[in-house]
Chains A and B, each alone.
Chain A
Amino acid sequence: MKVIATLIMFVFMFAGNGFAGEKQLSLDGSTTVGPIAKAFAEYFMKNDPNLNISVSESGSGNGAKSLISGNCHIGCMSRPMKDKEFKMAVENNVTPTPHVIALDGIAIVVHPSNPAKALKMEQVKEIYLGKISNWKELGGPDMKIVVVSRDSNSGTFETFNKLVMNKGNVVNTAETVGSNGAVRSRVQSTRAAIGYVGLGFVDNSLKALEIDGVYPSKKTIQTGVYPIARPLYMYTDKYPKMGSLVYQFVTFYLTKDGQQLVEEIGFIPCTSY
């Protein structure tokens, strides 16, 4: 009894001023855009302690759905909205308005011990189709390729699907994981693995490959030379009211600090600032 009473007291200590004009913003969506959203949120919350910005990372598809059903203010997506989603939005009186906050390249990554340095787009597609199943077919060691892919709720997957697979189906022996971070974990611990991640997730524990002779970097993505490049979106319902919190958040990327943050996280800023 006493325990419960003390717990309740403890909780009431935080009752505080729940009503007093605390502003709130909720984001949901892509795990690729997630780190950017989280960094932006922290920047905003540091400058104004009355803010409460919550970030959910459940996949680009869910970001769209949350925005359409009014469950979030900003839907982060690493792919553009699909026609079906637009239709649904219109039916719900939501006008999805895209804001491109950063650029990204999907890097094809392997374990650093893998001698492979460059692959052609066709070869990547065949690996994911299952047609090439052993590294020795590409001049590497005699190991079965462990194909790592994303599950169907992922914007990264959709972009990869569109730009690389081009209507082919990923082989069903591929392991599916739920996020960029998980792809990285799998590939960095498995010598025979291959996977794809957003550029911001590439670090020393992975090796990014040249695709069709182009290495993913800020220059090659901004100039469009890297073949698997994509914009990262934040969708809002109609263009946000000037000066509102949502407006400030989705135009933050235009400021110098915003661009610097994007670059520090590892993605490509849209402009040269």
Chain B
Amino acid sequence: MSRPEVVEPRDPGAAVLLDTEGEALPLAMEAKNVSMWYGSKRAIDNVSLDMPAKAVTAIIGPSGCGKSTFIRALNRMHELVPHARIEGSVFLHGQNLYASSMDPAVVRRRVGMVFQKSNPFPTMSIGENAIVGLRLNGVSDRRFLNERLEQSLRMAALWDEVKDDLHKSGTSLSGGQQQRLCIARALAVEPEVLLMDEPCSALDPIATAKIEELIQGLKTQYTIVIVTHNMQQAGRVSDFTAFFYMGRLIEVGSTTKIFTNPNEKQTEDYITGRFG
């Protein structure tokens, strides 16, 4: 077990993430001592997690372990739930997202999110859906919008399939295409980090494979944090994996290490399927 070289006390499950040369990786986001409550029920217990830049970090764990709750702390989406409370801080490239001067809307523009159930807006066409984030945030430059439309649909590997049908309703696509449209929609506003909350759980294996391929391609430009209940997916897609259990971060490390030689027994039990 590599001894962390940090002074302040850290969560027992956390570790400094090193690249192959043993150098500390640049971090896109850092969660420090995050605890979250819904009313009086504590959902997340003092989690500190580093998410390296331009890499895919997967968050795995059994149902109810808090992974969806935690990921919503990263773009302040938990604030939409009444009686939700958070302590601790989340940093994006060194900036505290929970500073009083930070507008949550700005945070959400910089940290995008794709949801479990694809939700293209039903009153809008495919093209309108893709750039709605730009338009409704005040961008009016027509030329720019068109450019961005094509760029984001290309990034989501959807352009070729829909370029002649941009006027059609967003809901006329298949499930997998809809989810890629949602990814394009999220990418259009140029977030620095893309959060994905079980994006493939409602999709068939072929559509899932397409999206996993997409994620591999996206990580050259974006930092991705993906929550998944599918361990194999985490193994295929991510560079780093964090294992949550009952609201606590049990262990985090490179995906290879977590899946072949985890430090914690609980992690090993979960990976090997002793509980789920």
Report if A and B associate in a common complex.
no
Mark A residues whose CB is within 8 Å of B: none
Give residues in B with beta carbon < 8 Å to A: none
